[in-house]
């Protein structure tokens, strides 16, 4: 069997790298000097209390925002994003949304169908996005992040509003996606759901990295987290 990280694993040229990243807003330090490596092929979780800087970090990595100081480098390659507020075309159907986003890449119809069924969207494929429940809108937003088959996917709270079965499906889909070279960074409050599938865990608190280690399914994530941030 091929190594799951064949090609890019451990190659610094393929990692996302943050060095001394500070992001200050008026009177608020969202990130206080973050050094972080996000290695190719990893399913890498960012966790931390409300306001710890997770969304800020993802926005900076995508390039939607700029650091006050410090540097961020990201290798060439397509990037897929799912942020806290779903960014679907509300007047289009699920299938139309998927096709619009897929058309920006070259991943093909088979992959589109794979994303749709893998995330449990087949039964709503002909419904207009505006009429979907909050959970299905979230699933569609997650699907749009993957439909161009990007090298990097950044997901901010992808499990919000989902029921247990849908959460399991999303975690399974994301973990399978990372079986090759792609890298997925997920900001989440649902450490228990992602825990067994993670390659790396970073805990942020008050804009600082409090923990950043490779992990495997046997780790007691809840205990790690509780010891760090209570």
Ligand X SMILES: Nc1ncnc2c1ncn2[C@@H]1O[C@H](COP(=O)(O)OP(=O)(O)OP(=O)(O)O)[C@@H](O)[C@H]1O
Token pair, residue 225, equals 């987290």
Cβ 21 to ligand X shortest distance, Å: 12
| Closer residue to ligand X, CB minimum distance, 54 or 116 | 54
Tell me how far apart the alpha carbons of residues 30 and 43 are, in angstroms, rounded to a whole number: 24
User: What's the CA gap between 46 and 186, in Å, rounded?
Assistant: 6
The neighbour count for residue 216, using CB atoms within 10 Å, is: 9
Q: What is the dihedral of CA 154, 5, 222, 185, to 10 degrees?
A: -10
> By C-beta, is 124 or 155 nearer to ligand X?
155
28 vs 130 by CB, closer to ligand X:
28
For strands 28-38 and 16-25, give the pairing. antiparallel
CB of 151 to ligand X, least distance (A): 24
Residue with Cβ nearer ligand X (50 or 85): 50
Q: How far is the CB of 104 from ligand X (least distance, A)?
A: 27
Nearer Cβ to ligand X (32/113):
32
* Nearest to ligand X of 12, 69 (CB atom): 69
Strand-pair category, 183-187 with 200-205: unpaired
Considering the complex, what minimum distance in angstroms separates the CB of residue 152 from ligand X?
19
> Concatenated DSSP letters for 132-164?
S-HHHHHHHHHHHHHTT--SEEEEESTTTT--H
Residue with tokens 């990243």: 21
The least distance separating ligand X from the CB of residue 86, rounded to whole angstroms, comes to: 15
Runs of H (alpha helix) within the chain: 54-62, 94-102, 109-118, 134-146, 164-177, 191-194, 221-229
CA distance 29 to 74: 23
What is the closest distance, in whole angstroms, from the C-beta atom of residue 83 to ligand X in the complex?
10
Q: Could you count the other beta carbons within 10 Å of the beta carbon of residue 165?
A: 9
Would you tell me which residues interact with ligand X (CB under 6 A)? 25, 28, 30, 48, 50-56
Q: Smaller CB distance to ligand X: residue 4 or 226?
A: 226
Query: Shortest gap between Cβ of 157 and ligand X (angstroms)?
Result: 7
């Amino acid at each position: 069997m091929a190594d799951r990280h064949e090609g890019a694993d451990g190659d610094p040229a393929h990692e996302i790298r943050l060095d001394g990243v500070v992001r200050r807003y008026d009177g608020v330090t969202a990130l206080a000097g973050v050094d972080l490596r996000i290695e190719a092929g990893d399913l890498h979780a960012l966790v931390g209390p409300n306001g710890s800087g997770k969304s800020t970090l993802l926005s900076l990595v995508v390039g939607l925002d700029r650091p006050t100081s410090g540097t961020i480098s990201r290798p060439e390659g397509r990037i897929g994003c799912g942020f806290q507020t779903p960014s679907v075309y509300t007047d289009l159907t699920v299938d139309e949304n998927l096709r619009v986003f897929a058309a920006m890449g070259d991943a093909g119809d088979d992959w589109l169908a794979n994303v749709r069924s893998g995330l449990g969207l087949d039964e709503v494929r002909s419904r207009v996005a505006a009429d979907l429940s909050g959970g299905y809108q979230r699933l569609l937003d997650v699907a749009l992040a993957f439909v161009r088959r990007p090298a990097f996917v950044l997901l901010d709270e992808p499990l919000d509003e989902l029921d247990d079965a849908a959460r399991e499906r999303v975690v399974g889909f994301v973990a399978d996606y990372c079986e090759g070279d792609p890298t997925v960074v997920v900001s989440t409050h649902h450490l228990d759901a992602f825990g067994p599938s993670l390659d790396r865990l970073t805990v942020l608190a008050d804009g600082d990295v409090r923990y950043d280690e490779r992990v495997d399914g046997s780790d007691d994530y809840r205990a790690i987290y509780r010891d760090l941030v209570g």
